[in-house]
Amino acid sequence: MLRFLAASIGARHVVEIGTGAGVSGIYLQRGMALDGVLTSIDAEAEHQRVAKESFAEAGLPPGRARLICGRALDVLPRLTDGAYDLVFGDAAKGEYGDYLTEAMRLLRPGGIVVFDNALWHGRVPDASARDAETVAVRELLRQVKDDERLVQVLLPVGDGLLAAVLRS
């Protein structure tokens, strides 16, 4: 789905919040324009080391990814307003609302914001689930639904994928 979303808008500039082992970064890069650059942020240097290896094993050129080690909410404010085609969030669930705020600033009109774990292990639709991460994901869904600048879809793939287009 990430590959499809990136390809559908001809993404050249993508921000990934949460590098992990590089799997999502591989799919994003495979969907992006050939001259596109993925900016991937993660607080764990080890995640980025593993991702760099994964990108190389996938045959992706090293210049296609810019890996930034740091806390997302410290790094995102330093990125350029309106310069990104897609922002993908898959990091600290408790910060998803703040990631959305930053994504809205970073995205160009027609850009897409995407969040993984939008169903959070089936806990989001369970009204009795009140842990902090579940509540944060629910609040994100509410924020996106209530923002008239966004056209959203909740896809039941994996652990749920929330995608929203920023209206022009």
pLDDT tens by residue, 61-118: 989 999 999 999 999 999 999 999 999 999 999 999 999 999 999 999 999 999 999 9
- The percent of residues above 90 in pLDDT, for the chain, comes to 98
pTM of this structure: 0.97
Reply yes or no on domain 2-166 having CATH 3.40.50.150: yes
Contact 26, 74 (CB under 8 A): no
